């Protein structure tokens, strides 16, 4: 058993090599699964079918919907939307103040709501006396704030990946966001693991390590 004092006596290169060895041992527990690959293909097919169906539905709406329509519940729709936006701002501020990882999700949600707000303000105010005010609000307030939120989420994701790479003993520039694989989701792992709690996955990995160790001990005896 390596204690803390021995680790302190190691050089940075030796500690880097140790991290790589430990990461490699952990990766051996992530065994490939044919069932997981099959589920992945099914989900990808479902996503493609949804894209095709939505594209066809957009075409139908573009040709059949009236240009003008009197809507009901107008006040409730906008007040409810602004309440959701207020809640997103408040939770984002709390997560930033407390330095919580959930801040990444909050920033993405906030950016989405701001973009939706800008879109509907501009589109629904078209050909009205409030159009230019809505356009100015979208260009000066809502879209810049959405861009800042997205850039902040991107920076936090890349920073998180840099920390993971460092603990895995890897160095060098951080890859582009679209090139970063899902953490803990190596090829072949069941996509159902995305819905599992981290504690459950760690427990399964630990049980697998113990079983492998018991098999090795039995073989030696």
Full-model pTM: 0.69
What distance in Å separates the CA atoms of residue 49 and residue 56, rounded to the nearest whole number? 11
Q: What count of Cα atoms within 13 Å lies in the side-chain half-sphere of residue 43?
A: 10
Which pair of tokens denotes residue 82? 């602004």
Task: Give the residue from 144, 176, 129, 170 showing the smallest Cα distance to 157.
Answer: 176
What distance in Å separates the CA atoms of residue 160 and residue 167, rounded to the nearest whole number? 11
Domain ranges in the chain are: 78-203
Query: Which single residue is written with the structure tokens 């041992």?
Result: 25
Q: Mind listing the pLDDT tens digit of every residue in the chain (221 residues)?
A: 666 677 677 777 777 777 666 666 655 544 445 555 677 788 788 889 999 999 999 999 889 988 888 888 888 989 999 999 999 999 999 999 999 999 999 999 999 999 999 999 999 888 888 899 999 999 999 999 999 999 999 999 988 888 777 776 666 677 787 777 776 655 555 555 555 555 555 555 555 555 555 554 555 55
| Residues in contact with 22: Cβ distance below 8 Å, sequence separation at least 6, in sequence order | 169
Q: What is the 3-state secondary structure (H, E, C) of 114-175?
A: HHHHHHHHHHHCCCCCCHHHHHHHHHHHHHHHHHHHHHHHHHHHHHHHHHHHHHCCCCCCCC
């Amino acid at each position: 058993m390596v204690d803390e004092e021995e680790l302190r006596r190691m050089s940075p290169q030796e500690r880097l090599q140790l991290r790589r060895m430990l990461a490699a041992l952990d990766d051996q527990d992530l065994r490939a699964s044919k069932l997981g690959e099959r589920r992945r293909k099914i989900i990808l097919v479902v996503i493609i079918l949804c894209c095709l169906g939505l594209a066809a539905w957009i075409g139908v709406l573009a040709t059949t919907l009236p240009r003008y329509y009197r809507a009901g519940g107008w006040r409730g729709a906008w007040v409810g939307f602004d309440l959701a936006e207020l809640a997103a701002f408040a939770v984002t501020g709390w997560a930033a103040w407390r330095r919580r990882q959930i801040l990444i999700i909050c920033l993405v949600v906030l950016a989405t709501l701001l973009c939706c707000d800008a879109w509907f303000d501009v589109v629904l105010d078209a050909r009205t006396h409030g159009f230019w005010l809505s356009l100015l609000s979208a260009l000066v307030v809502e879209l810049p704030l959405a861009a800042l939120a997205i850039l902040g989420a991107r920076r936090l994701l890349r920073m998180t990946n840099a920390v993971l790479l460092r603990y895995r003993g890897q160095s060098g520039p951080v890859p582009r966001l679209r090139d970063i694989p899902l953490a803990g989701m190596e090829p072949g792992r069941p996509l159902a693991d995305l819905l599992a709690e981290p504690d459950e996955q760690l427990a399964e990995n630990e049980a697998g390590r113990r079983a492998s160790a018991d098999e090795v001990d039995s073989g030696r005896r």
